[in-house]
Chains A and B, each alone.
Chain A
Amino acid sequence: MTAELHAITTTVNGTRYSRRVESRLLLSDFIRHDLGLTGTRVGCEHGVCGACTILYDGLPARSCLMFAAQANGHEITTVEGLAPERGRLDPLQEAFRAAHGLQCGYCTPGILLTMKAFLAENPSPSEGEVREALSGNLCRCTGYQHIVDAVLLAAARRHGESPA
């Protein structure tokens, strides 16, 4: 059976890509295999773990629960798009480094994109709000404590405060 192909154009991290994709190609696999952007991780592939979270038109979404064909005409940000330039990190990434907000790092890209959007919407969150916002991202190493610390540190630095 010859697979039906769809011509799509999508903007990822500010760069336009035009590709032909099979209907059943998941957006997560498109990003990793077709575009070579392997920062996006694939974990459970059924929407539970959050490792494949990207920003889709600015909002966090599971890229394993979308088809690449749907992304035609839409904008995507992956973890590769966070840092402002080579050699510099986004302030959120800096906070994760400073607070030791990761161990193996597999869940980190999904968490960074989820928290990037969360802090844009809620710049001064409580610890409880951070934990709730993290509920859709599984981390099996850290016990979450340092991740929560890192997010609160990023928020505090943005306000020019030292964290409590």
Chain B
Amino acid sequence: MKPAPFRYVAAESIERALALKAEHGDDARFLAGGQSLIPAMNFRLAQPAVVLDINPLRELDFVRAAGAGGLRIGALTRNRTLERDALIAQRQPLVREAVPHVAHPQIRNRGTLGGNLAHADPASELPALMLALGARLRAQSARGERWIEARDFFRGVFTTALRADELLAEVELPGLPPRTGTCFMEVARRRGDYAMMGVAAVVTLGEDDRCTHARLAYCNAGATPVSAASAAQALVGSPLGEGQIHDAAAVAQREIDPLGNVHASKAFQRHLAGVLTRRALQTAVDRAKAGG
């Protein structure tokens, strides 16, 4: 058999799962979609002593409307649902646009939002989306719960702010203001591969068509998902003409810190970031003008 031996527990309740996690700490891993954890176990890169299967906890699989156009999405929500849910498509079209880039249909049928974020692969699309959309993440443990801002959640490659006894239970996405346009773009070697570079752009326009708010977030641009705050700040107050978009993309290229690999050198990743930022910003602006 490929994985090392472990104790498997199908969770009967969140309380029981949290009690076991508190007892075993880092020796226990939550199993959600398993599309990253099980390959790592098959290679024996991960050898948890205890696997807590949270798939039976259907109460963690939900998409709900929240106030002011917001959304609350349960951690066990599959990528398949993120791709197809009508409320998500309406309130957060950026999610609808990005999720089809996540691996393949078979993987998206199993992989979950919470599992993806807790895995914290900096090349993955969803962590960058959380930064771009200003998400909050709810961590639950036997001690209680706390909300973590997305910008504080991702600490390093495969490393998050979650403590050894905590479960990522839910994600909250604030509503988009009126006249907000969003766009996700990436370049990958093949459909479904990890992106060599990906960008999520969010732009809000005032009545005079000048930018009142912008966010840019990148996947595969560093050890964590990377937010280009200076580039976004430079856009605020500007009429978002070709020149300003070009300048912001140049700032973003310097702000990110891609790691480079055999598929794409750092220089090529920076080049892609420049091209994708310009295209995504222009598309987001066009969409904002068309009414979001």
Q: Are B34 and A66 in contact (CB under 8 A)?
A: yes
* 9-residue interface stretch from A43-51, A83-91, A151-159: A43-51
Q: How distant is the Cα of A22 from the Cα of B8 in the complex, in angstroms?
A: 9
**CB within 8 Å: A-B pair count:** 93
**Besides A23-B51, A46-B39, A135-B190, 4 other A-B contacts (C-beta < 8 A):** A26-B2, A50-B106, A67-B38, A135-B192
Q: How distant is the Cα of A23 from the Cα of B38 in the complex, in angstroms?
A: 12
| In the complex, B68 has a CB within 8 A of chain A | no
What's the minimum C-beta distance from A151 to chain B, rounded to whole angstroms? Answer: 14
Chain A 46-60, CB within 8 Å of chain B: the 1/0 string? Answer: 110010010010011
- The chain A residue with its CB closest to the CB of B38 is A65
- The chain B residue with its CB closest to the CB of A65 is B38
- The chain B residue with its CB closest to the CB of A6 is B8
Q: Are B110 and A65 in contact (CB under 8 A)?
A: yes
**21 examples of A-B residue contacts, CB within 8 angstroms:** A4-B7, A4-B8, A23-B8, A23-B51, A26-B1, A26-B2, A61-B109, A62-B106, A64-B38, A65-B35, A66-B38, A67-B8, A67-B31, A67-B34, A69-B10, A70-B55, A72-B10, A114-B106, A118-B105, A132-B191, A135-B105
Q: How distant is the Cα of A118 from the Cα of B106 in the complex, in angstroms?
A: 10
Q: Are A133 and B1 in contact (CB under 8 A)?
A: no
Chain A 11-37, CB within 8 Å of chain B: the 1/0 string? Answer: 000000000001111100100000000
Give chain B's interface residues, CB within 8 Å of chain A.
1-8, 10, 31, 34-35, 38-39, 41-43, 51, 53, 55, 80, 103-107, 109-110, 190-192
Kindly list chain B residues whose C-beta atoms are within 8 Å of the C-beta of A3.
5
The 4 closest A-B pairs by CB, nearest first: A136-B104, A23-B8, A46-B39, A135-B191
Kindly list chain A residues whose C-beta atoms are within 8 Å of the C-beta of B8.
4, 6, 23-24, 67, 69
Kindly list chain B residues whose C-beta atoms are within 8 Å of the C-beta of A66.
34, 38, 110
Contact of B42 among A1, A6, A45, A132 (CB under 8 A): A45
Q: How distant is the Cα of A53 from the Cα of B103 in the complex, in angstroms?
A: 14
What's the minimum C-beta distance from B123 to chain A, rounded to whole angstroms? Answer: 15
Centre residue among A25, A47, A53, A60 by max chain B CB count within 10 A: A47
Q: Are B42 and A64 in contact (CB under 8 A)?
A: yes
Q: How distant is the Cα of A4 from the Cα of B107 in the complex, in angstroms?
A: 28
- The chain B residue with its CB closest to the CB of A60 is B106
Contact of A60 among B2, B34, B109, B190 (CB under 8 A): B109
Give chain A's interface residues, CB within 8 Å of chain B.
1, 3-4, 6, 22-26, 29, 45-47, 50, 53, 56, 59-62, 64-67, 69-70, 72, 114, 118, 132-133, 135-136
Centre residue among A24, A53, A135 by max chain B CB count within 10 A: A24
Centre residue among B1, B43, B104 by max chain A CB count within 10 A: B104
Kindly list chain A residues whose C-beta atoms are within 8 Å of the C-beta of B106.
50, 53, 60-62, 114, 136
Kindly list chain B residues whose C-beta atoms are within 8 Å of the C-beta of A65.
34-35, 38-39, 110
Q: How distant is the Cα of A86 from the Cα of B104 in the complex, in angstroms?
A: 32
What's the minimum C-beta distance from A48 to chain B, rounded to whole angstroms? Answer: 8
What's the minimum C-beta distance from B191 to chain A, rounded to whole angstroms? Answer: 4
What's the minimum C-beta distance from A162 to chain B, rounded to whole angstroms? Answer: 28
What's the minimum C-beta distance from A33 to chain B, rounded to whole angstroms? Answer: 10
What's the minimum C-beta distance from B47 to chain A, rounded to whole angstroms? Answer: 10
What's the minimum C-beta distance from B7 to chain A, rounded to whole angstroms? Answer: 6
- The chain A residue with its CB closest to the CB of B80 is A59
- The chain B residue with its CB closest to the CB of A63 is B106
- The chain A residue with its CB closest to the CB of B193 is A135
Q: How distant is the Cα of A114 from the Cα of B39 in the complex, in angstroms?
A: 20
Q: How distant is the Cα of A47 from the Cα of B193 in the complex, in angstroms?
A: 12
What's the minimum C-beta distance from B115 to chain A, rounded to whole angstroms? Answer: 12
- The chain B residue with its CB closest to the CB of A50 is B106
- The chain A residue with its CB closest to the CB of B78 is A59
Q: How distant is the Cα of A50 from the Cα of B58 in the complex, in angstroms?
A: 27
Q: Are B1 and A24 in contact (CB under 8 A)?
A: yes
Q: How distant is the Cα of A25 from the Cα of B4 in the complex, in angstroms?
A: 10
